[in-house]
Every structure is written in C-alpha cells, then in structure tokens.
Structure 1
Amino acid sequence: MKKIDLHLHCVPEPVPRTDTMFVSTGAEMVPHLEELGIEKAVLMSAGEQASPLGSNESNRRICAENPGRYAWMCNLDPAEPETIRQRLARYKEQGAVGIGELMINRPLDDPFLREIFAVAGELGLPVTFHMSPQVGFGYGVVDDPGLPLLEQTLREFPQTLFVGHSQPFWAEISGDAPTDPEGRNAWGKGPVTPGGRVPALFEAYPNLYGDLSANSAGCAIMRDPDFGLAFLEKYSDRLFFATDMANTEMVFPLGAWLDDRYAEGRLSRTAYENICRENARRIYGL
C-alpha cells in the first residue's frame, strides 16, 4: 500500500548546498518518494517570506506543478495579529490543507498563537506544531515539562485539531521524560515508563493528533516496541505517517518498521492503513 507523507520539506528551484544541510526540489524528491512507497506528500511551510525550507508561496508553486504528488500547509509570520483571520482564509482559499509546521518561539498561551488556534478551528485547518523546551532554545512553540499549556490549549480550543511533533512533545510519551531543556530536546530511548503525558492527553482530548515524523516520533514508538504498538493500535485514527525529510539523502526508519510489524502480524491492517494513508485522506481531504 502506498503511503501519504504528512510532513515533507522541499523547494521549487535548486538552492546552494551547504556542509550541514541541503534541500531538494519537488521534482528531485519524486523518485525518492517513489522508492519509499510514498504516493503523496504534504509540504510544510516555514512562513510567509522566502525561506530555505520553503514558504507558503513556494509550496503553492510546487503543488501547482504537480498536484497529484503534493499538497501543502501554510504558516504565518508573527506580525499583524489583526490580519490573522484574513491571511489564513486566503491561504485556505489558495489550497492550503492545514497550518504547519507552526514554530513561532513563544509560549502556547501567547495571544498571537491563541488567535491562530481560534481561527484555525473555525476554518477547519489542523495545526501541526514543532515544540521547543523554552523561549530562546531553538525554534518552536513553547511548553513546560508535563505539557500544561498544551493541555490548556486543547481544552480551550476543542474545535481545533492539534498535531504534535518534535522531541519535547514525543519525549512526554514516557513518565520519566526529562525536565531540562537539553534532555527534553533529545530523542527518547529505553523502555517507556507508565504515566507519560502524551498518552494521558491523547486519552483525554480527542482533538490531539500525532505526527510520526523524524527520529523524535520514531524513537518514541520504536524505543519500546510493545508499548509503541499498543499506542499505535489504540490511537490509530489520530496518528499520521510522516517523514520530515528535506532532501533525497534522508530516510527515517519508522516507515520500514511499520511495514515490517504489519507483515509480521503485530500491527493490525486497520491501524496500518489508518496511519499510513486513511487518516490523511479523511482529515486533510487528500
């Protein structure tokens, strides 16, 4: 079965390669996606201005050139709070299927973010967020250990679908999640301890979903296979296969791991198909 990748980065035209990172074009990425069994991918936006990781406009261009292969999410720059509704409505009209990845480095209860969440719910635009452990530490929306602001946000905006991503979010799958910034921003490892905040929030709030991209989610699921498989089965209607690839040399192991567990009969057909394809089709209309 072909997969839908809910989290991809690419650009419409070649950009200079650096020693640490390069971003492939949409055209260059197609054979790589085919090799990985990915039929369609949803492009993440870094914002409204030009960016090496793609912007609203560059995403729209890539999708216009190859609508069968790509869909796109929009993002907002942290300016002009009075135009949030107008801007998001315009991007939805242009074809954006969601907001992502939201990475403004402010606490989740910041007024600008709260307005985005309110409008997103009204417009039916799910929000994929990248989380940071604190203001000034890299990029991403900010919450404290234990994710108290995320719980407050889920409760206050029940119509908005929130799709969790990145290390500080997925580290909280375990009850012994680190509390220091460096530890929270590391990939989880070892057996999962009961009492994790992510499972508790999934249980309590049906508007919380999960982006299974990169090693942050991959480690959360694969670090303790029995726990990971049980989590996938229980919340199979709220988890999305995703990669977070930015170039044709990147491959994350969770996709093959899901294939293998399904082939072994350890992951049910329903869960496998929901996660790899059907949830993206249902929630994002892909």
Structure 2
Amino acid sequence: MESPRPDLTITELERNMNLSRREFSKSLLLASLSAVAGQWPTRVVRAAEPSIKAGTGFIDVHTHIGTYTDPKKNLTAEGLIKWMDENQIEKSCVLPLTSPESTKYLQTTESVLAAAKDHPDRLVPFCSVDPRTTHAGSVKALVGMIQAWVDQGAKGFGEHKVGLNFDDPLMMRVYEACQEVGIPLLFHIDTIRGKDVPGLKRLENALKTFPGLNFIGHGPGWWASISGGLTPK
C-alpha cells in the first residue's frame, strides 16, 4: 500500500526561506507524524480498562519492548499497554533496535510484528535492519526486505540508530529503500549513532537527496539542534 503524503512536504519547507530553524523542525516533525498516523485505522476497540475513546488519546511515536540494558528488566507488550492506559496513550509505535550500538540486547522486527499482531488496535509496528548486513546490502535487497515487513503490517522504519555518519553511503541506501517503499523513517542522531556535526549538515544532505522520504527526528543531536531561540522562564 502506498504511504500517504502529508500536505506539507520537506521540499516545500526547504523552499520557504521565511521559516526559522525551529519552525522548520516543528513542521518537519508534524509532517512526518501525519504520514505515519494516516496509515492507522480510526476505529479502536479494546477490552482493557480504563478505555480510551477513539480520537481522544495521545499517540506515542517512540516506544520499545523487551530488554534494553538491564537483563532483569523486560517490558512486555502487555506492560506497555498498561502504561498506555494509565497515561491516556491511544496508540504507540513500537520500534525494534537492530544495530549493536543501539542497545545491549537487540529487539528484532519479528518480535515487534508479533506484539502488534496480538494488539492491533494499540500497537503500531516499525521495522529495522542494520545497513551493514551482508545479506541485504544493495538497495534492491533492502527494498525487498522492508517491503516484506510492510506486507506483514510494518508502518515505518526505525529506530534507525546506527554507528555510522548520518549520510554514510550505507545509510543512504536505507533512506533510498524507505523512500521507494513509501514509509517514514525515525532516526537517532548523536556523536555515536547517526553521527552528524553542529548544524546537521549530514542530515541536510539526506533531506535534499531523498525529498520524498518523511524523516522523524530523535536523539540528543537532534534536540540540541532545534532548541535555539529558547529563553528561560
């Protein structure tokens, strides 16, 4: 299924020279969230209490299930949904972590798809693959792998949290594949994963190279770069 496009595209945002950096970043994030949310059904049916009326809850675009750094702590899908109910979260995007720099304990796309299959009205699965894999190194191979996950229900790609420069040729292959498949990509930027420099020149290169791909920003490098202009209150 072709991914719907938001009314405001990245290319149009770049052309609008009247936008401040902060306004640009806000518009980019909203456009990306619109692309993801547009793929979700509006009808929500669940037995869990307290119930959340469709259209009244929040959407959490960044969650994980499984083990992260502490082997004694494991967040199940049921545990996540319990937290969602307690915090008025209607839907959550669940992101796998497949790169060695992203977590001590990898969280596979297959486990995320399985959790979403058990809770289709609450969990929105994303997919992910490390671009350094030797089994899907070409753009064509990546497209085939990602499309297979989309056919199983994946709505986006991420968390893209890889120990390479943001516009490394291997990373650019992933962006090209996601653009071709038609799903948004949620990325992480800092000095270790998705590496960039002040001003985010590498991200800018990716945005200009793949204007049809909806990027969703995350990570210390991203937040630090969009926080200019704030004044203490």
TM-score, normalised to structure 2, is: 0.67
Q: Which residue of 1 is the match for residue 199 of structure 2?
A: 146
* Distance in 1 separating the partners of 2:129 and 2:68: 25
**Residue in structure 2 matching 1:84, options 142, 151, 164:** 142
Does the residue aligned with 2:176 lie in a helix, a strand or coil? helix
Match of 1:171 in 2: 224
User: Aligned to 2:217, what secondary structure does the other structure show?
Assistant: strand
Counterpart Cα distance in 1 of 2:110 and 2:62: 17
Say which structure is richer in helix: 1
2:73 to 22, 25, 33: 22
After superposition, the Cα gap between the structure-2 partners of 1:118 and 1:111, relative to the gap in structure 1 and judged at 3 Å, is same
Structure 1 residue 51, shift from structure 2 partner: 7.4
Provide the C-alpha distance between the structure 1 equivalents of 2:68 and 2:221, rounded to a whole number of angstroms. Answer: 31
Matched position secondary structure for 1:30:
helix
SS in structure 2 at match of 1:71:
strand
The answer to whether residue 121 in structure 2 is matched with residue 68 in structure 1 is yes
1: CA distance, partners of 2:144 / 2:211: 22
1:123-134 superposed matches below 5 A: 123-133=181-191
Tell me the CA shift for residue 146 of structure 1.
1.0
Whether 1:192 aligns to 2:230 is: yes
Structure 1 distance, partners of 2:159, 2:227, is 24
Q: Which amino acid counterpart does residue 156 of structure 1 have in structure 2? A: T
- The answer as to 2:109 corresponding to 1:56 is yes
Q: 1:32 aligns with which of 68, 78, 83?
A: 83
Q: Is the 8 A contact 1:41 1:70 kept in 2?
A: yes
Post-superposition offset of 1:155: 0.8
Matches within 5 A, 1:236-247: none
CA distance in 1, matches of 2:185, 2:88: 25
Are positions 1:8 and 2:46 aligned together? no
Q: Is the 8 A contact 1:23 1:53 kept in 2?
A: no
**Equivalent of 2:96 in 35, 42, 45:** 45
Divergent runs of 4+, >3 A = 15-19, 48-53
In structure 2, the residue matched to 1:209 is none
1:84 Cα deviation (Å)? 1.3
SS at match of 2:178: helix
Matched residue, 1:257: none
Shift of 1:52: 3.5
% identity of equivalent residues:
28
User: In the alignment, residue 2 of structure 1 is paired with which amino acid?
Assistant: G
In the alignment, the residues of structure 2 paired with residue 119 and residue 24 of structure 1 have an alpha-carbon distance, to the nearest angstrom, of: 30
**Structure 1 unaligned runs (5+)?**
176-190, 194-223, 226-286
Q: How does 1:193-208 map to 2 (within 5 A)?
A: none
Mapped partners of 1:64, 1:34: distance in 2: 19
Alpha-carbon separation, structure 2, partners of 1:168 and 1:95: 30
Which of 175, 188, 199 is the matching residue for 1:117?
A: 175
Q: Is the 8 A contact 1:9 1:53 kept in 2?
A: no
Structure 2 CA distance for partners of 1:151 and 1:48, relative to 1, 3 Å: closer
CA distance in 2 between partners of 1:48 and 1:67 (Å)? 26
Contact in 1 for aligned 2:99/2:161 (Cα 8 Å): no
CA contact (8 A) 2:68 2:105 kept: no
Residue identity opposite 1:3 in structure 2: F
Q: What SS does the aligned partner of 2:222 have?
A: helix
Question: Which letter maps to 1:36?
Answer: N
Q: How big is each residue's C-alpha offset from its partner over 1:52-99, in whole Å with a ceiling of 9 and x where there is no partner?
A: 362101001101111111111000122131221211111111111000
Query: The residue matched to 2:188 in structure 1 has which SS?
Result: strand
- What is the aligned length? 171
